[in-house]
Amino acid sequence: MSTTVNALLREDLRDFGGYKSARSEALSGTIWLNANESAWANPSDPGAALRRYPAPQPEALRARLAQLYGVAPAQLLIGRGSDEGIDLLVRAFCAPGRGRIVIAPPVFGMYAVCARLHGAGVVEMPLVDAPDGLRADLDAMGDAALESGASLLFLCTPGNPSGELLARDAIAALAARLRGRCLVVVDEAYLEYADAPSASTLLADHDNLAVLRTLSKAHALAAARVGCVLGAPALIEALRRCQAPYPVPQPVVEAALAALAPEALALTRSRMEAVREARARLADGLRRLPQVRRVYPSAGNFLLVRFADAGAAFAALLAAGVVVRDMRALPQLGDALRISVGTAEECRRVLAALDRLPVEAAA
Ligand SMILES: *Cc1c(COP(=O)(O)O)cnc(C)c1O
């Protein structure tokens, strides 16, 4: 087992084998009577695709995802969205009631939610509102990890909601600094929109690094719930022992494989360029509106926007049938909304609705 994974894994889980399901034993035969499955298919399932429990980590999908993300199958765990990856990481690496994670708010809420549910502490090192955008201070986050003894540090790149793209060199330097002390988790839920290399290219040199990828955003499969943790084989194995016995439903395997077939993947990739263009056009349009105070640069499929009166902007959009994300409850974002980049027509609707905002709201 890699030294870092071994050193950071919860002490009480180091010899934990997890649940031994009927499918986790390496047995072979032609008559399967070891899992109390029905001997008949459901009438609604003529192909009998659903009669038996699925493989814990379906091989074909694991191989396909590994190829997609440029890692070996043993470096990849399939879960129910990257949300499950986050939860598994927190449960495996934070001692309940004692462990800690480091995050840079405002950021995706699930890191703190999983920590809270697990009784782990959350050490916050706020994003810095700089002239070039909302920036994570990786030096300060590293300091916080070392001072607090946190076992996990979450980076989000492109950042949700900041839109910030972190430099790969900076991630590598942070991982090197925290080697053996803290696992650096890089959430790349929006990386496809950024046209930038993945931090997974750093895995060979950094055994305290994990990367989260998902089919929910760029691959348009949010309802299928497929996400991956990429990391050292020892890390993947440790997380697998903490995971539910059958986390990947068979219909989901089929949907994901279909979405990753060459033609579908080519279309998905061509859409990334369209999103980047639409994002630039929407940002331009927003910057021209008098009630818009600031549009942050974004490497994702969304824009973070500050308004003179964000409440009025939210209400005007809602009145036009457009639902955006109200960010006002988040730290530093009391005047901000987050707008996903939709179709060209949907972006036009956003701009039209905001253009009709009463002038006094622009004061
Ligand atoms: C949307 C999002 C996710 C959720 O991913 P799932 O794979 O759907 O669970 C993870 N991280 C960030 C930053 C997100 O914005």
DSSP secondary-structure letter at 261? Answer: S
DSSP helix, strand, coil percent of the chain (3-state; round to 5)? 40, 15, 45
What pLDDT, on the 0 to 100 scale, is given for residue 357?
85
Fold of 264-362: Aspartate Aminotransferase, domain 1 (3.90.1150)
Give the whole-angstrom CA distance, residue 307 versus residue 196. 30
| Any ligand 1 atom below 6 A from CB of 216 | yes
How far is the centre of ligand 1, averaged over its atoms, from the C-alpha of 81 (Å)?
7
Helix H, strand E, coil C: the string for 198-245 is CHHHHCCCCCCEEEEEECCCCCCCHHHCCEEEECCHHHHHHHHHHCCC
How far is the centre of ligand 1, averaged over its atoms, from the C-alpha of 86 (Å)?
9
Q: What are phi and psi of 211, to 5 degrees?
A: -125, 135
CA-nearest residue for atom 11, ligand 1, is 189
| Any ligand 1 atom below 6 A from CB of 82 | yes
- For the chain (length 363 residues), average pLDDT per consecutive 10? 81 89 81 95 95 96 98 98 98 96 98 98 98 97 98 98 98 98 98 96 97 98 98 97 96 98 97 96 97 98 98 97 98 98 97 86 48
What pLDDT, on the 0 to 100 scale, is given for residue 102?
98
| Residue pair 191/198 in contact by the 8 Å Cβ criterion | yes
CA-nearest residue for atom 15, ligand 1, is 160
What pLDDT, on the 0 to 100 scale, is given for residue 176?
98
Fold of 3-260: Aspartate Aminotransferase; domain 2 (3.40.640)
Q: Which atom of ligand 1 is nearest to the CA of 215?
A: 7
Instruction: Choose one of 217, 229, 302 to mutate for the ligand 1 pocket test, by most ligand atoms within 8 angstroms of C-beta.
Output: 217
CA-nearest residue for atom 7, ligand 1, is 81
Instruction: Choose one of 108, 155, 188, 211 to mutate for the ligand 1 pocket test, by most ligand atoms within 8 angstroms of C-beta.
Output: 108
Instruction: Choose one of 110, 185, 213, 225 to mutate for the ligand 1 pocket test, by most ligand atoms within 8 angstroms of C-beta.
Output: 110
CA-nearest residue for atom 6, ligand 1, is 81
Q: Which amino acid is at 339?
A: I
What pLDDT, on the 0 to 100 scale, is given for residue 274?
95
Strands 100-103 and 152-156: parallel
| Domain residue ranges of the chain, discontinuous segments joined by + | 3-260, 264-362
Tens of pLDDT along 209-220?
A: 999 999 999 999
| Any ligand 1 atom below 6 A from CB of 253 | no
| Any ligand 1 atom below 6 A from CB of 109 | no
Give the sign of the dihedral formed by CA 90, CA 77, CA 256, CA 71: positive
Tokens describing residue 64: 């396909």
| Any ligand 1 atom below 6 A from CB of 310 | no
Tens of pLDDT along 167-222?
A: 999 999 999 999 999 999 999 999 999 989 999 999 999 999 999 999 999 999 99
Q: Which amino acid is at 184?
A: V
| Residue pair 211/188 in contact by the 8 Å Cβ criterion | yes
How far is the centre of ligand 1, averaged over its atoms, from the C-alpha of 358 (Å)?
35
What pLDDT, on the 0 to 100 scale, is given for residue 360?
61
Give the whole-angstrom CA distance, residue 232 versus residue 344. 41
| Residue pair 200/230 in contact by the 8 Å Cβ criterion | yes
Give the whole-angstrom CA distance, residue 123 versus residue 102. 5
| Any ligand 1 atom below 6 A from CB of 160 | yes
| Any ligand 1 atom below 6 A from CB of 111 | no
DSSP secondary-structure letter at 340? Answer: E
DSSP secondary-structure letter at 166? Answer: P
| Any ligand 1 atom below 6 A from CB of 87 | no
How far is the centre of ligand 1, averaged over its atoms, from the C-alpha of 236 (Å)?
19
What pLDDT, on the 0 to 100 scale, is given for residue 359?
65
DSSP secondary-structure letter at 76? Answer: E
